[in-house]
Amino acid sequence: MDPLDLAVAAAQAAGKLLRSHFGSPLNVDAMETHDIKLELDVQTQTLITQMILDHFHDHAIYGEEGLAGNQSSPNQWILDPIDGTVNFFYGIPHFCISIAMREHGQLQVGVIYDPIRDEMWQVRKGGPPLLNGKPIAASKRTAVSDSILSVGFSKTKTTIDSGLPLFADLVYRARKCRMMGSAALDMAYVASGRLDAYIEQSVSLWDVAAGILLVEAAGGSVKMEPRSDMPDKFSVVATNGVLQL
């Protein structure tokens, strides 16, 4: 099976599971100051993992809810089963499934699926970025004063402290600043021209992997800097490619 078609099928199956639980009582695995971990996060990753390893027995899975498969494989799937888990828990219909695959470290396919709005973003390396089968492109706005931006604060006092000064600066300069709670959807919105930029001080690769391929294919640009103080965490600045931040 073609990896992109498999990623789309897995995202649709996961989306069906999430829709069936959305708005219902949920089993909470962990309730933290600025984060919530649901049993459904693990259940959904297990569903996606099973579908992938059924087709590609020897591939590696790297997901928010853990590792699976052959970790020394050059083919690695990067999964966020529910991006926007806190939104999901509170019944806010703004969350998604994010699936990416990379070969020898090079991103090859990316899928982001919003199961409530039934919006499926997909992209293959070198191919057109698509939303529900139609080509998309990043916006052309250059002036921050004309722009709408999304700023994320992540989950810790440290990341909030480091994000506040940036937010305090941009909120006066941009037309509007939003805080939407899903890094992957923020990236998809930049790729679709709905947002002109998305900035966050601390994300994991699974939050943004599919979005990186999508934003770059849509004419935008993504800067990822590893955080020296947090292993496997990155600061990210994704823009339409022309915005003068």
Footprint of ligand LIP on this chain (CB under 6 A)? 64, 80, 83-85, 152-155, 181-183, 200, 207
Among all residues, whose Cβ is closest to ligand LIP?
183
56 or 95: CB nearest ligand LIP: 95
Between 153 and 167, CB nearer to ligand LIP: 153
Tokens linked to 184: 């992957």
**Exposure string over 187-225, b if 16+ CB within 10 A, otherwise e:** bbbbbbbebbbbbbbbbbbbbbbbbbbbbbbbbbbbeee
Closer to ligand LIP by Cβ: residue 56 or 183: 183
Least spacing, CB of residue 141 vs ligand LIP, in Å: 22
CB of 52 to ligand LIP, least distance (A): 19
- For ligand LIP, the closer of residues 15 and 84 by Cβ is 84
Q: How near is the Cβ of 85 to ligand LIP at its closest, in Å?
A: 4
3-state secondary structure the chain: CCHHHHHHHHHHHHHHHHHHHCCCCCCEEEEECCEEEEHHHHHHHHHHHHHHHHHCCCCEEEECCEEEECCCCCEEEEEEEEECHHHHHCCCCCCEEEEEEEECCEEEEEEEEECCCCEEEEEECCCCCEECCEECCCCCCCCHHHCEEEEECCCCHHHHHHHHHHHHHHHHHCCEEECCCCHHHHHHHHHCCCCCEEEEEEECHHHHHHHHHHHHHCCCEEEEEECCCCCCCEEEEEECCCCCC
**Closest distance between ligand LIP and the C-beta of residue 73, in Å?**
24
Q: In terms of CB distance, is 56 or 186 closer to ligand LIP?
A: 186
Provide the minimum distance between the beta carbon of 83 and ligand LIP in the complex, in angstroms, as a whole number. 4
Cβ proximity to ligand LIP, 207 vs 216, nearer residue? 207
Shortest Cβ 239–ligand LIP spacing (Å): 16
For ligand LIP, the closer of residues 64 and 196 by Cβ is: 64
Closest approach, Cβ 126 to ligand LIP, in A, equals 27
Of 211, 205, 168, the closest CA to residue 188 belongs to 211
